[in-house]
Amino acid sequence: MNCPSCKNPNVDNAFVCEWCGVGLNSQNIQENQVKGLDVEITGMLSKMPTGCDIDFIISTQMFKRAAYFYQKTTGKSMWESKYYVLRLNFFRIHKHATEIAWQKEWEKYKKELKAGWGRWFFGVLFFWTIFVPIIFIVENNQYKQYKKYGL
């Protein structure tokens, strides 16, 4: 039997995956059935490729449409809508996944997202502390040369 979370092989009667620790008994493994609004959103998401990371999924137009559709239909915030649609897409791709597997995937994404913000912040900080003074010095020197020659 393969683990629904990490897809590694396990002994048929195992209660826990020896690779990732996810419970394997029938109570933990649930077929996630969708109804009503979820059917429409799943239909939108089914046009997307399945083997992609979360950053790519969020950048696709279909994801944005699905999140916007959910937001307008339920009245929830855009962040709640994106989380819900990401979760729905995760269970669409991993049909036998557990809630624990989703939480692991979400935590991994949040760590990557925090690192992205840190890189962005320090990139902007580096730009303003290094490049802007250099540009100012170069332009100031050019101005002095123009003034020296009377231009």
pLDDT in tens, 132-141: 778 778 777 7
Q: 42 near 88, Cβ under 8 Å?
A: yes
Residues 2, 55, single domain; the answer is no
Tell whether 12 and 44 lie within a shared domain.
Answer: no
Can you tell me the distance from the alpha carbon of 42 to that of 114, in angstroms, rounded to the nearest whole number? Answer: 28
The 10s digit of each residue's pLDDT in 75-130 is 888 888 888 888 888 888 887 888 888 888 888 877 776 656 666 777 778 777 88
DSSP state of 3: -
88 and 69 co-located in one domain: yes
Q: Judge if 3 and 54 occupy the same domain.
A: no
* Claim to verify: residue 18 and residue 60 sit in the same structural domain: no
Q: Do 71 and 49 have their domain in common?
A: yes
Q: Does residue 1 sit in the same domain as residue 60?
A: no
Beta-strand ranges (E) seen in 1-151 are none
Considering the domain architecture, whether residues 80 and 139 belong to the same structural domain is answered as yes
Q: Write out the DSSP string of the chain.
A: -B-TTT--B--TT-SB-TTT--B-STTT-------THHHHHHHHHTTS-SS--HHHHHHSHHHHHHHHHHHHHH---HHHHHHHHHHHHHHHHSTT--HHHHHHHHHHHHHHHHHHHHHHHHHHHHIIIIIHHHHHHHHHHHHHHHHHHT-
Domain assignment of residue 89, given as a range: 37-149
Same domain, 19 and 81: no
Looking at the fold, whether 93 and 125 belong to one and the same domain comes out as yes
Q: Are residues 70 and 48 in the same domain?
A: yes
| The predicted structure's pLDDT at residue 12 | 72
Domain count, the chain: 2
Q: What is the pLDDT of residue 52?
A: 66
What is this structure's pTM? 0.49
Are residue 8 and residue 62 in the same domain, yes or no? no
d(Cα 136, Cα 123) in Å, to the nearest integer? 19
pLDDT in tens, 6-57: 888 877 767 677 777 777 764 444 333 346 788 888 888 887 766 666 667 7
Rounded to whole angstroms, how far apart are CA atoms 3 and 17?
A: 6
